[in-house]
Structure formats: C-alpha cells, structure tokens
Chains A and B, each alone.
Chain A
Amino acid sequence: MTSFVFKRLGQAIVVLIIMSILVFAGVYVIGNPVDVLISPDATQAIREQVIAEYGLDQPLWKQYLDFVGSMSTGDFGRSFVFNMPVGELISQRLPATLELAVIAVILASLIGVPLGIYAGYRPNSLAARIIMAGSILGFSVPTFWIGLMLIMLFAVQFGILPAGGRGQTASLFGVPFSFLTLDGWKHLFLPVLNLSLFKMSMMCRLAAAGTREVMTTDAIKFARAAGIPERIILRKHVLKLISIPLVTVFGLELGSTLAFALVTETIFNWPGLGKLIIDSIASLDRPVMVAYLMMVSVLFVVINLSVDLAYAALDPRLRLKGR
C-alpha cells in the first residue's frame, strides 16, 4: 500500500511537470499580450517598460523556469487584466465554483444512485422504464437549453427563484460560502439542478446496469436464501458491490465539474472559475490561464489518487494486491 501511494505520487509529479510544459508552451504560442495590455498609442518607452516589468523580454526557457520557480512558492504572478495576484484572484472565485460543483455531484449521486438501483432491481416495472427513459433525456438534452428552460420556468413564469447571480454568503473558516444562507440556497438551486442533471443520468444508468448484473449473482441468491429482507440486500450487498464504478465516475465528474462548469456559470451569471477562465482567454490574460490550467491538473491528480485509495477502502481484495 505504501509503495503504491509513493508510486502514484511519483506519477503525479511527472504528470504535473508535463502539464506545466504543455500549458506554458501552448499559452505562449498564441497572441502577444502586450498588444492587449497597452494601448496602441503608448510610447515605445512605456511599451518596453511594461514588457520588462512582466518579464516578457526574457527567453522562453527562462520565463518557464521563473514561472515554475515562482509557482512552487505559491506565487502565480499578477493578472495582466485585473492587476492583482492570480492566486488571490482564483481563491476569490474558487469557493463559488466549489460549492456549486460539490453540491451538484452529491445531489446527482443521492438521487441518481437510488433511482438506478431501483431501475436495476425491477427492470420491467413501469417506474424503471420511466427512470431509464428520463436518464436518456438527461444525457442527450444540452445543458444550456435546460438551463434556459429552468430560468424561463422558475424565474420568469413563476418568479419564485432568482434567474442568476450568487446569493448572500456567510463565512466558514474565513471563506465565503452561500450554502449557509437561505438566500444563497435560492440562488444555488437552479444552477445546481442544471449542472447535476447530466451526472444524475450517468450515475443512474451506471447503478442500474451494476444492480442488474449483481442481482443475478450467487451472493445475492445466497442472501435471499438466508431470508434477508430485500431492502437490506439492496442497501448492504448491492450498494457495496456496485460502488467501485460509481466512485470512479463520482471522482471524474467532480473534477470535470469543478474545472468546466462554465456553461452553467455563464447562463446563471455565477461568479465562479468558469467565467474567470473564459474572460482571461478572451483577454489573453496568460498568468490566469496558466495558473488555472495547472490548478485543474493538480485537481485531477488529487481526485484520481483519492479514488484509487477509495477502491482499497471499498474492496478488501485490492488492499492485499496493493501491498
């Protein structure tokens, strides 16, 4: 197990180094930020001063080393556009996206998994057919359209929920979160629902397929033959047996939602990271893009590592193998 964790950490470092090179190279090939930063009618002296200030006159490899060096000390540079440290900028936006994504994925699991287990348990019932058909809908209808429909219905027609923006926040460990206030929840509801529908469908189908398969195994027959009630069989036997693929998807979805919630954030005008990255791409705000992409890679590496550790927790057979 220890050797496994070390190995994964080593792999993670390699992944991060490769990512940093890719990100840096990729971002530095497109456009010239100086054109965006400085008005065309600025004097040559000001131009050169700005270029020197941001270190843009250095050779690329030097810029890369500087970038890696400062990043390892937690300094991601200053945003060209907002003219403030990138670290600060991201940490301002992160809580908003974090609460949106985490609540959406948890909601998707809490609703999707039980629905899926039911659909897999009674595959021929009417309810199961409705659930499975609904999940296909959840897969195939585009997020932006559902988002717009939700706004139309709840904000415009009924006027019971706000159409966008983040509600009142309360601070927890010094970080502002909106899920601590009622107003915050009102603002959260629609974007969370919108974001979770796709994941819910996925979790649901996965759980249904797993349950159908597990229900035919001898382990379940044996439990039934011992007279164990069906609900306990589903809750204890089935849920544990189907949990590994579910955890995999949970992890991947959490990562991708945190990183790429931008459609929903745009529609609901949610002040999260998705909007920040879109804005920074539009204005060629390199330090923000780079820091953001690096953050995303770290995020995925960490989530995947946790998922692997969760496997070992869920399946005792893997603990032995990892040793």
Chain B
Amino acid sequence: MTELLKVENLRTYFETERGIVKSVDGISFEVRKGEIFGLVGESGSGKSITGFSLIGLLDANGKVQPGSSVKLDGREIVGLPDQELRRIRGREIAMVFQDPMMTLNPVIKIVDQIAMAIRAHEKASDQEVRRRAIEALTRVRIVEPEKKIDQYPHQFSGGMRQRVAIAIALLHKPKLVIADEPTTALDVSVQADILKEMKALVAELGVSMIWISHDLATVSQISQRIAVMRRGKIVETGTVAQVLGAPQHSYTQGLLDALPSRARPGEMLASAATESSGPIVLDDLAKTAPKAADGAFVQVDDVDMVFERPVGRVGRFTQKLGISQPPHAVHAVKGANLMIRQGEVLGLVGESGSGKSTLGRIVCGIYTPTAGKVTVAGRKVREGQRKLGTGVQMIFQDPYASLDPRRTIFQSVAEGPLAHGLTTRRDARAYVNRWLKAVAFDPALADRYPHQFSGGQRQRIAIARALAMQPELIVCDEPVASLDVSIQAQVINLLIELRRTLNLTLLFISHDLSVVRHLCDRVVVMHHGKIVEEADVAQLFEAPQQAYTKMLLDAVPKLAV
C-alpha cells in the first residue's frame, strides 16, 4: 500500500501564561491509503492536538513549529496560507469530533448545515443540495432522510447526531478523515454499530482514517496500525498485533495492565499512573467497620418515578379547552425492586436513559419516588430528611463539578461531619486527616483548593468526603467514567481496598461492564426504566439470561489481540 499522509517531526507548541507547552513534540508517522490508523493516548498526551495540527485548526496561541512537515499525497501542508488550508479542510481532510451534542449547531436545520458544508467547496442549487443531503444521510443509515433533513439537531439521538457529523465529513469524499474520539460519548450498543459502519464506509469509499482514542479496545477493533502517544511523543508504533500483543514500551504495557477487563475480578490493577499518592492508612478505622451480614440491608420496593413538567392552573384550563397538549411525562423508573446486603457491592448497569442514575438518586433520597419506598437499615428514605444525610452518601461522576472550587479540601470534607455532629470544630482537623489518609491523600495538602489537583486526586477527595460521614451505604454514580485508564485503575484499587477493610456497602452505577465485573458482587441490569436482569457477577457475564443483557455484553468492544 502506498502512503497518503506522511508526518515528519511534527511539533506544536502553545504559548501560555506559564510558558511554552510542547503539546506535540516531534512526532513522525504515516497513514497509508485505505488504512485506519489508531492514535492512542491518555488525556494530555497531545493526540487531539495532533489531529488539529494536521488541518491547521489550532487556537490562537498554538503554532506548528518550523521544521515540521505534513505531506498529503506528497503536497506539503504546513505553512500553507489560510485560504489554501480552508480548501483542504472538508474536501481533502475532514474531521469528526467526540461530542455529537456539541458539534452540530443547535439552532440550524440539518439540511442547512449540510448545505453550508457542500457550498464551502462547490456551487450547488437548492434542489441539488437537498438531493445530496438525503443521499448523505442515507449513506450513514438514517431512516426517513427526506423528513429528517428538515429537523434540528435536538430532535436526533446522540448516535444519530454522530452519524450526521460523519455524513458531513464524508460529503466531499475526502482522502483522509480524522476522527477524534468519535464513539466515546455514545452508548456501547450505538458505539458498536458506528464502529461497524465506519469500517464499512472506509472500505467502500476508499478513504483513509486517523482514529484518535483513549480506548485501547475500540482502537484495536477498528485500526490496522496504531501509535501510542504520551506527553507529546509517540512511544511506540506498529500493527495492532505488534503494539498491543507484544508491547515493547513499558508505558504501553502499563496501559494494558490497567484495564480491568484483563485482570481477574477483584484483583488489584497495575497502574501506569505517575501521579504520586501516599499509602492507604486506615489506622483503627477497620475495627469499627460493620460486619457483613446476610438479608436485605437496603431494600427498594416497587419504586416508580415519573417526571412531569408542572402545568399549573392555566395549563390545565387550556388543556380542557383543547388548545394545548398535556406535557410529555417521562417514566424514568418503572416498578424497580432490588436489595443490597450489608457489605455487598451491587452493580447497576444500563445505557443512557435507562433510569439507573434516577434510581441511584432515589436511593439517596435526592428524589422522592412517585410510588414505592426505599429503606436503608430498616429506616425509610425520604427526600430532604436530615438524619439520613449521614446514612447514605453519594460519589459523582465528575470530580471537577462535585467539589466546591471556593472551598479548601479540608472545608469540603469537614462540612458534613461538623453539621451532623460527627466531630467537633476542635477535632475536625484530626478527623478529616484520618479519612484523607484512608484514601491515600496527603493530609498536608488539605488546605489547597480543588483546582490544584488532578481528576484522580479529586475523586479520592470525593470518596473521603463520602466516607467521613460514616455512611451505611454509598451510591457511586459512574465514579471512574471520566478518568484516564491508569487513574481509573488507581481509583478502582482504592475502592477494592476500602470495601475489603471497611466492609462498605456500595451501589455502583456504571455503563462500563468491565469495571462492574471487576468490582461488584451482584449486578442489576436496567433498560428503559425497568430492571431486566439480576444475577451474581460471574453468572451474568458467563450465562446472561435476557436478550438485552446478551446484546449489551456483545457490544462491549474487546481488545482484538
């Protein structure tokens, strides 16, 4: 195969207030015709910046350094004037982004967005634009494209929006498509479909593709050759089998070892993280831990949750007159029953919109269910109940949003225990330090603010904050979903360690089946608000009973080595 793109010594530097950041620092690779080339790395590795550098779309403070070379079909792109670069973008090199909710303009009809992309490079009549828009949407398997092109993005699901973005990228049959985490924001089943379709489209149109991702499994599924990036440099490159099958570099090996899917369930994961963290110090905390016990500790009985927009009197009146429709009610949870034993970790699995987070919040008492009840240790959970505040705690997905940026770590962790009389102002310091040590966070840093810490450290703080309330149950809502694999491995290890010594009872909500398998004792699968299957972890993964569970398990991308 001949090469289409040749990148040599690409260096992209950013000028920031804190000096020059070498985001991409001298990388070289080539992409062959008709090939899918995977670019793998953790956040901050420079993989996305590499993509943007190729088409000259950097923020104002970023610059491709002289001496860099990017040749497309033998033609040097670096240093081309803006007008020339614009002509290449979309026509010869197209791009697809991660978040399909953000990439399409929410206030412009699909057909008009496609029209703009067509007219960026050629003249076309309105009729021709419509015809080509329909053709483009048909190509990415959107049903009823004649109707759909006149709709707005919010009328499309996430997967459909990403298909539209792909359709736009393919409009001019470019030579190269750069796909930056194109399936990361999608549900596994949708991701599986899009992976398959992308592969087929690449083969059908004969385009080449650079697939940028943090997810080794999807990359191994779709690409022929891959490069592993770390801190602006490529540490290893080769075919999928070479790099992932027999990694030469310790970093690649570390990434692979950090994957929960490659370890035995419940085992500590090896972590390639370089982030320093102290040892977990539990003092005598373990002694006061409750004993594991059989029988239901947390009980969820026939819980229903309907979200409705309040209509008010006027709304009811206009409904009676027949001039307005009743608002759309969302039945988020339908007749859910589950129980958790003391000291057990229950996984709650489902795709987006399955109602898993809603159920988690009901268990926490954040929402009052429309029907049914929840009891924890024999007490009923009710919304806004103060006493329960210490009984059930929550850990959220986004450690950036769940810590108050204006409070120090100490203040954030101490607030709850102080309010509930678990400690006094005088003893607060020692009390907080004990829990920070329990999550391997250096108490000396407790007077700093959240922005000074990385995502992994913040998630530790969030866990310490929950633990410090000495809860009977912790609801973890996707606690590792936004973390890099190596950091994710650390947090998973921490949770394993903590539950072992403190006998924690956890409700672990996740879309990631490999994490659930690794951490949980039993699993509940939710689909469209209903619990469809409940089983022990081993049994569910070995012999799923329901068709939906089987589909979900099949859709999970596996490392193709």
Contact = CB atoms under 8 A, between A and B. Distances in A.
Contact of A317 (B152, B165, B318, B319): B152
Interface stretch (A15-23, A31-39, A229-237, A261-269): A229-237
B315 A7 contact: yes
Nearest to B316: A3
B147 to A, nearest CB: 15
Interface string A281-323: 0000000000000000000000000000000001111001001
Nearest to A222: B103
A219 B117 contact: no
Given A3-B315, A316-B154, A219 B104 contact: yes
Interface residues of A, number: 31
A317 B90 contact: no
B463 to A, nearest CB: 31
A232 B120 CA distance: 9
Contact of A227 (B90, B152, B165, B318): B90
Interface string B65-100: 000000000000000000000111111001101110
Contacts of B168: 222, 226
B107 A225 contact: no
A171 B312 CA distance: 47
Which among A1, A217, A218, A221 has the highest number of chain B CB atoms within 10 Å? A218
Interface string B36-68: 000000000000000000010101100000000
Interface string A128-144: 00000000000000000
A240 interface: yes
Nearest to A238: B105
A219 B117 CA distance: 13
A226 B120 CA distance: 8
A223 interface: yes
A126 to B, nearest CB: 15
Which among A10, A223, A241 has the highest number of chain B CB atoms within 10 Å? A223
A124 interface: yes
B250 interface: no
B102 A225 contact: no
B89 A227 contact: yes
B57 A224 contact: yes
Which among B97, B120, B121 has the highest number of chain A CB atoms within 10 Å? B120
B154 A317 contact: yes
A320 B309 CA distance: 12
B327 interface: yes
Contact of A7 (B55, B103, B112, B312): B312
A236 B116 contact: yes
A226 B108 contact: no
A316 B107 contact: yes
A2 interface: yes
Nearest to A315: B107
B402 interface: no
B520 interface: no
A224 B314 CA distance: 46
Given A2-B318, A3-B311, A229 B105 contact: no
Contact of A240 (B89, B107, B319): B107
Contacts of B318: 2-3, 6
A120 B433 CA distance: 47
A71 to B, nearest CB: 25
Nearest to B311: A3
Interface of B: 55, 57, 59-60, 86-91, 94-95, 97-99, 102-108, 112, 116-117, 120-121, 152, 154, 165, 168-169, 171, 311-312, 314-315, 317-319, 323-325, 327-328
Given A218-B97, A317-B154, 8 more contacts: A3-B314, A3-B318, A3-B324, A124-B60, A219-B105, A221-B103, A228-B90, A320-B154
Closest 3 CB pairs of A and B: A227-B90, A3-B324, A225-B95
